[in-house]
Amino acid sequence: MIDDDTPLLSVRRLSKRYGAHIGCADVSFDLYPGEVMGIVGESGSGKSTLLNCMAGHLAPDQGEVIFDTAVEGPRDTLLMSEPERRMLARTDWAFVHQNARDGLRMGVSAGGNVGERLMAVGARHYGDIRGTATDWLTRVEIDAGRIDDRPTTFSGGMQQRLQIARNLVTGPRLVFMDEPTGGLDVSVQARLLDMIRSLVRDMGLSAIIVTHDLAVVRLLADRLMVMKSGHVVEDGLTDQVLDDPQHQYTQLLVSSILQV
Amino acid sequence: MTDQAYNFAYLDEQTKRMIRRAILKGLAIPGYQVPFASREMPMPYGWGTGGVQVSAAVMTADDTFKVIDQGADDTTNAVSIRKFFEATAQVATTTKTSDASVIQTRHRIPEEGLTEGQILVYQVPIPEPLRFLEPRESETRKMHSLEEYGLMHVKLYEDISRHGHIATSYAYPVRVEGRYVMDPSPIPKFDNPKLGGCPAIQLFGAGREQRIYALPPYTDVVSLDFEDHPFEASKADHPCGLCGAQDSYLDEVITDDAGARMFVCSDTDYCTGRQAAGHKGKDAA
């Protein structure tokens, strides 16, 4: 690839405060095409704030989020107009919520949920939309026969897989995931992780995954950022950080994993 | 004014001025929902308070006024609104579409073609076409301003996936001049093709929801659809039982306990006009 030198996403000195309280402070990193970045830390460490600031759901107080757009090259998404940012959010970006109910339309059938992004970017052929939806349901291991069922009739794991299908259907280049396996039981988690991993590899996606589960980042992430109290305390290759943690907080985090 | 109980057409002049400003803005931006300070009217919400306020604001003493309710001139809603303006504005009233200069309608467009100089006022229960898809008003306004109408097609998609065809048969969403998606009020989709290119001014008033929107004459209005499931204006596949009309929108009337039924024009003026001209249907006495 020619573009390998240009980062897909560059974050520079991103900060967000909630009054006197720090959400996240002075975060900088580069994400290259095809790379999966994990952000770990305990509850309240600012990882979700950081993710929401990057994805445009929250307005950061300062900093830059430079995205390598398909047409115009690198642009600071924070300076974009709202229509541009929303367009980006439904084409090149995807956001997978922790709770599938936040990311799905519960009153709309599975097929309609997957088709919504297609229709939002101008698809107007019912047969094609349905064909793509069927294809995607199969790819996320949902029986195609359930295309007309509402997500309310789906199990938690299926809802999460449906949310992923709905997000990936327009072929985004960057996926934000907020605790994608949160609240699922272990065997369902394992299947979901397996599926996400193969989708990321097949589609060459870049992803930023926020989680408190070190096993998730061990499986999915190439690189890792450890956050505490709004600051990045350590970053590096996943295996390197997890096998040889330098910062005392990372050491604590790694040693807190239950061994069975 | 002291010898009169009410100002002309019930509303005070300042209120009419405010409503006229909203109407003018609506005409300037076809399909855009203009908020206005809807007043309490001496009738319940759902009975056409929005339409009545719009009618009152556009009415002059020289106007001839007609009210139709589901096409009919003689139902409660139509009769009471007609009487209301007879009492408060002393305007001439009519049931003939071609004689009227202001027509207030609930859920129909007259069969007879409208002409330049006429004003058609719709009563609108829910002006927001995206309401049942996206409950947040703040969000739907943003979607209108950013032209994000993919969700409207999700509704049509759901229709086809559940029923095999677009089952929405009234309040069928339209796109105005390639810009705003608009709820045409609960008119049957049979009437949708009459919205576009109409020589008359079309005004929409939603009293409870406090919105006015408008279509200036000869506006381009397109019903939303899919390429492989095109929009179809549908009606009951019968001729009118009274006047024999093949081309009018029909009401189905159950005539006894044994399931006998007849189909008659919902537009009573159109039907009586045809009968007077000698047309006869199979159920005509």
User: Any idea what the CATH number is for the domain that residue A33 is in?
Assistant: 3.40.50.300
* B265 classed as catalytic: yes
Place A44 in a pLDDT band, splitting at 50, 70 and 90: confident
- Long-range contacts, stretch A242-251, CB < 8 angstroms, 24+ apart: A242/A214, A242/A217, A242/A218, A250/A226
Q: Would residue A194 count as lying in a domain?
A: no
Across the interface, which of A116, A127, A148 has its CB nearest the CB of B162?
A148
Place A1 in a pLDDT band, splitting at 50, 70 and 90: very low
* B198 classed as catalytic: no
The answer on A136 and A100 residing in a single domain is yes
DSSP H/E element including A176? strand A174-178
pLDDT at A127 (0 to 100): 95
User: Is A117 touching B (CB cutoff 8 A)?
Assistant: yes
pTM: 0.86
pLDDT at A253 (0 to 100): 87
Mean pLDDT, rounded, of chain B? 94
Q: Would residue A216 count as lying in a domain?
A: yes
The answer on A154 and A100 residing in a single domain is yes
The answer on A115 and A67 residing in a single domain is no
Q: Would residue A111 count as lying in a domain?
A: yes
pLDDT > 70? residue B2: no
**Domain membership of residue A253 as a residue range:** 1-92+174-185+207-260
Q: Would residue A195 count as lying in a domain?
A: no
pLDDT > 90? residue A189: no
| Residues B147-166: tens digit of each pLDDT | 999 999 999 999 999 999 99
Chain B nearest-CA distance from A222, in A, is 35
Rg (CA), chain B: 19
* Residue of chain B with shortest Cα separation from A84: B146
A104-129: average pLDDT:
93
Give me the residue label for tokens 């789906």.
Answer: A154
In chain B, the percentage of residues whose pLDDT exceeds 70 is 99
**Contact indicator for A147, A137 with CB cutoff of 8 Å:** yes
- Give the number of domains in chain A: 2
The answer on A118 and A66 residing in a single domain is no
* B46 classed as catalytic: no
| Residues B97-117: tens digit of each pLDDT | 999 999 999 999 999 999 999
pLDDT at A105 (0 to 100): 92
A223-228 and A231-237: which strand pairing? Answer: antiparallel
The answer on A102 and A221 residing in a single domain is no
Q: Would residue A7 count as lying in a domain?
A: yes
| Residues A168-180: tens digit of each pLDDT | 999 999 999 999 8
* B271 classed as catalytic: yes
pLDDT at B120 (0 to 100): 97
Place A4 in a pLDDT band, splitting at 50, 70 and 90: low
Question: From the candidates B131, B138, B158, which should be mutated to test the interface with A, based on the most A CB atoms within 10 A?
Answer: B158
Q: Flag whether the ipTM exceeds 0.90.
A: no
pLDDT at A8 (0 to 100): 93
Q: Chains A, B: CB contacts under 8 A, how many?
A: 51
Across the interface, which of B154, B226, B228 has its CB nearest the CB of A108?
B154
The answer on A11 and A71 residing in a single domain is yes
Rounded Cα distance, B197 and B219, in Å: 5
Across the interface, which of B146, B150, B160 has its CB nearest the CB of A116?
B150
pLDDT > 80? residue B5: no
The answer on A49 and A11 residing in a single domain is yes
The answer on A104 and A55 residing in a single domain is no
Chain B nearest-CA distance from A149, in A, is 10
pLDDT at B3 (0 to 100): 63
* Domain stop point among A122, A148, A171: A171
**Integer angstrom CA distances of residue B70 from A40, B100, B117, B221, B231:** 62, 17, 23, 22, 22
Contact (CB<8Å) A109/B161: yes
Contacts of A86 in chain B (CB under 8 A): 146, 148
Q: Would residue A192 count as lying in a domain?
A: no
The answer on A111 and A78 residing in a single domain is no
**Integer angstrom CA distances of residue B11 from A184, B52, B94, B104, B230:** 61, 10, 22, 17, 44
Place A2 in a pLDDT band, splitting at 50, 70 and 90: very low
Least Cα distance to A168 among A201, A144, A146 occurs for A201
pLDDT at A3 (0 to 100): 52
Question: From the candidates B130, B134, B142, B153, which should be mutated to test the interface with A, based on the most A CB atoms within 10 A?
Answer: B153
pLDDT > 50? residue A98: yes
The answer on A179 and A142 residing in a single domain is no
* Domain stop point among A171, A197, A225: A171
The answer on A178 and A250 residing in a single domain is yes
The answer on A180 and A87 residing in a single domain is yes
Chain B nearest-CA distance from A87, in A, is 9
| Residues B132-152: tens digit of each pLDDT | 888 999 999 999 999 999 999
Q: Would residue A117 count as lying in a domain?
A: yes
Q: Would residue A197 count as lying in a domain?
A: no
**Contact indicator for A200, A207 with CB cutoff of 8 Å:** yes
* Residue B1, token pair as written in the block: 């004014």
Mean pLDDT, rounded, of chain A? 91
Rounded Cα distance, A192 and A169, in Å: 17
CA angle B253, B272, B52 (to 5 degrees): 80
| Residues B67-93: tens digit of each pLDDT | 999 999 999 999 999 999 999 999 999
pLDDT at B133 (0 to 100): 87
B258-273: average pLDDT:
94
> At A64, is the secondary structure helix, strand, or coil?
strand
- With b for 16 or more beta-carbon neighbours within 10 A and e for fewer, the A210-238 pattern comes to bbbbbebbbbbbbbbbbbbebbbbbbbeb
Contact (CB<8Å) A119/B162: no
